[in-house]
Structure 1
């Protein structure tokens, strides 16, 4: 089927998200979760080998799919920062900071403010720290994990300039 130029120009265009990242579990976490399958197969072994193996494979696959599908997503789009289920307008945010190495470790631990909202994932070293500049918001800053914190900071900064 051919789409004419007139149809293509009047069709609504989706605005591409400047940034999107799934904070999926590390490979070691997925492998560890998949070990639930063989353990469950051992439990069902008295029933029979074939059903036990089938149940074990199904359980391992289900656990891995749930781990990946249930992972939080970081998105910067449409004038909003979304981290997991939480969201905030980019106009309410201050200047974001990308942290890695020792700075990220400090931000995740002793440097984490008590009024900070955070979503931190083990196995993801990078951290983004974004101050909240809304006086009515009891949260002072957002601190969250990212594999590419510099890209998140760039997307937030770009969104704040264009928004």
Structure 2
């Protein structure tokens, strides 16, 4: 039964792996269960172990991060922040995303990224009391996420957010 009067999120995305990632991870898990655990018991135990390892791997893959813009708040994974603390937001193409996850990363930044998603969004944190300069968020629909953030009150357009410093209004657990 759906609640027709309940406000819906302005944006919602679950960062699930793509089909090829699922296939590879589950195949490796099955091989591990069958090969590594088979010597520990009878033949049936290897199959049971293989199924158990595949089930555990599937559970881990399904527990992917969620990205949501709702009621003036951005949630990315376990972190959340009110949108009035957000400055510029920008779509990050695949090549730039790789650089921001690696050699050009700021150690203070909050990363909610998944390697199987090539593009993303960078969100500037403008709260002077927050030590986190920006959030880097993976997204399969980065243009829609940027539009939702701007509609929710995040700052204007810009090539890329700048750095900041101080104490946090963003919460990275919860």
TM range, normalised to the smaller chain?
0.7 to 0.9
Alignment counterpart, residue 60 of structure 1, candidates 50, 54, 61: 54
TM-score, with length taken from structure 2: 0.75
5 Å-filtered alignment, 1:5-44, equals 13-34=5-26, 35-42=28-35, 43-44=37-38
Q: Which runs of 5+ in 2 are unaligned?
A: 155-174
The structure having more radius of gyration, on CA atoms, is 1
5 Å-filtered alignment, 1:1-163, equals 13-34=5-26, 35-42=28-35, 43-44=37-38, 47-69=41-63, 71-160=64-153
Query: Contact conserved, 1:40 with 1:56, CA < 8 A, in 2?
Result: yes
Q: Which runs of 5+ in 1 are unaligned?
A: 1-10
Larger helix percent:
1
SS at structure 2 position matched to 1:95: strand
- The CA deviation at 1:45 is 5.7
- Number of residue-to-residue matches in the alignment: 150
CA-based RMSD: 2.2
